[in-house]
Structure formats: structure tokens, C-alpha cells
Amino acid sequence: MSADARRRRLVLGISGGPGSGKSTFAARMVREMAESGVVAVVVPMDGFHLPDAVLAERGLAEVKGSPATFDRAGFEALLERLRDETSVVTAPAYSRELHAVVPDAISVGPEVRTVLVEGNYLGLWSSTRDRLDEIWRLDVPWEVARERLIARRIATGRDPVAAAEWVDRVDAANAMLVAESFSTRVIADSWLSEAN
């Protein structure tokens, strides 16, 4: 048995505020690891958005994306299951086109040696932090993230004025929470720009 086969699966958190480039960064890491023979997969926290009907019932529809709008217990239960290296674990994803969760969209089999868990709030809750080996936080200036977020909302059919209002009201507050959250490593915007 090779050293890689004996190695315990790494569950690495990729954190950062909204629009910081977590998905892009994690996807690039998966490609680079594949080039060196390491099988990796990305599991996004966004797959644990609460359904819109639940958000409406709880009065949270206007702050979708904030910490209270996620199924934290379900997410942490998935992090526990990801430690099982003997069976296939499925995880949900989030469709920005549908604005909804897609169940069982991601498969994590025994061959996966590294799971990159990406999400805003990985360093916010100690119970989540305890289930990750490390948390790397992407540090991107708010002005850069804001531009990306507005463009993203417009691309999915939102009115430009409403898109900017949402970003300035909801995403900006969430970005501040993330900036103050725990991480084991901070990756600066200058490094991210050079690596792209």
C-alpha cells in the first residue's frame, strides 16, 4: 500500500466573504492536485441554504445568505460523514440559475484523498471549525468582491439597482462577519491575483 493510500483524508476549509473567489480558488486547487495524482473534490456550504419557503416562514427571505439562513446542523453532519473513507458520501450543491439546492449533486468516494469544503462561515462557528483540518481564508478587498457580486446578480436576471442594493445591505454585512472569523491561514488578494 502506498503512503498516499494510507494517509487520512484531508478535509480543508476554504473560507472567505461573498465574492472572494472561493469557488474559483477551490476548483483550481482540485485541478492542480489532480496533476500531481491526488484525487480531490469540492463540497460547497451553499448546498445547505435553507429552502426559500422556510426562509419566508422565519422572516429571513430578505437576508438569504446570512448565517441564520443555512442548515448548520445538516452541514456539520455532512462534515462528519466525510470522515468515512470506506463508502460513498453524497452532498448537495447550490444552483445560482435555479436559486435552489440540488440534492445529492456531489459524490465523494473512497478514492478522494482531499475534500475542499468552501463556504463563507467555516470559521464562524466552533462546532464547524472542529470538523475541519484547516481553514484557509481568502482576503479580498470589499470593492473587488462587491463588483463581482453585483455582476453575478445581474447575470442571473436581477435588476442592476436592486442587485447593488442587495449586495450593499446583505453581502456587505456578511463579509464583515467573515473578515473577523477564525482561520489557520490567510491568503491575500495579491497572491490570488498572481495565481489567476
Identify the pLDDT of residue 4: 44
- Tell me the C-alpha distance between 79 and 130, whole Å: 10
Identify the pLDDT of residue 2: 44
- Tell me the C-alpha distance between 37 and 65, whole Å: 35
N- to C-terminal Cα distance for the chain?
36
Identify the pLDDT of residue 7: 63
**pLDDT tens digits along 35-70:** 999 999 999 999 999 999 999 999 999 999 999 999
> With bands split at pLDDT 50, 70 and 90, how would you rate the model's confidence at 195?
very low
The domain segmentation of the chain, as residue ranges, is 3-189
**pLDDT tens digits along 170-190:** 999 999 999 999 999 999 875
Cβ-count burial of 34 within 10 angstroms (0-12 exposed, 13-18 middle, 19+ buried)? exposed
Identify the pLDDT of residue 8: 87
CATH of domain 3-189: 3.40.50.300
> With bands split at pLDDT 50, 70 and 90, how would you rate the model's confidence at 104?
very high
User: 89-95 and 100-108 as β-strands: parallel, antiparallel, unpaired?
Assistant: antiparallel
**pLDDT tens digits along 128-185:** 999 999 999 999 999 999 999 999 999 988 999 999 999 999 999 999 999 999 999 9
Identify the pLDDT of residue 70: 97
